[in-house]
Amino acid sequence: MLELSLHILDIVENSTRAGATNTEITLVEDTYKDTLFLEIKDNGSGMSEDVLKKVLDPFYTTKTVRNVGLGLPMLAQATERTEGHFIIESKGGEGTRVAASFKLSHIDRQPLGDIASTLVTLIAGNPDVDFIYRHQHNNREYVLDTNDVKKEIDDVPINHVEVLHFIREHVQEGLKEIGAEA
C-alpha cells in the first residue's frame, strides 16, 4: 500500500467484517512537533490474545480467501521506517484500536492519499456503520460524523449517489479549510 488512506481502508474493512457498528478514524497532523498520528477504533468483535500476537505476521490471516495478511504488518513497517510507533490493542468482544505515528517530514513517510474517496468507499459499502472521521491540522479540526449526516438526510439512504457526492465534496472542502495535507 502506497498511501495511508489505503491502510485506513484496509483496517476499517477488517473492522466491519468483525461486526463493528461504530468506527472512529482520527488523523492529527502537527507541523510544530513534526508528527502525523493515525488512530482507528472500533466496537467490533475484537481479537483474542492469541490472534493479537499473530496479526503482525504477514503469513497469518483470518481471511479464508488468501494465505497472507499484509495490511497491519505493512502499516507497522511504514511507521518504523519513519521513526514512528505502531500499537494495536484488542480484546475479544470489546473492539480494536490501531494507532500509528510517523515523523511528518520523513522522506519515507507515505502520503495521506485520497481520504475523501476512502471515506466515500467505506460509507457506500457499509451504510449501517456509523463513522466518525476527525482530522486535525495543528490547531484546526474537521469532523465528519455519519450520524449527523443521517439525521439531515432523513429517509434517503446514506449510500445514495447524491449523498455520497455531497460527502466527498464536504470532506475535500473541510480538509482544504483546515490546511490538511492533500
Query: What are the extents of the domains in the chain?
Result: 4-178
Mean of all residue pLDDT scores within the chain: 91
CB 40 within 8 A of CB 8: yes
Average pLDDT over residues 153-174: 96
**Helix axes 161-178 and 146-153, enclosed angle (nearest 10):** 130
pLDDT of residue 68: 39
pLDDT of residue 2: 83
pTM score, whole prediction: 0.91
pLDDT of residue 69: 45
Average pLDDT over residues 121-131: 97
Residue 104 to residue 5: CA distance in whole angstroms:
15
pLDDT of residue 83: 94
Residue 155 to residue 176: CA distance in whole angstroms:
30
Q: Which residue has the higher pLDDT, 48 or 125?
A: 125
168-180 per-residue burial string, b: 16 or more CB within 10 A, e: under 16: beebeebbeeeeb
| Structural class in CATH, domain 4-178 | alpha beta
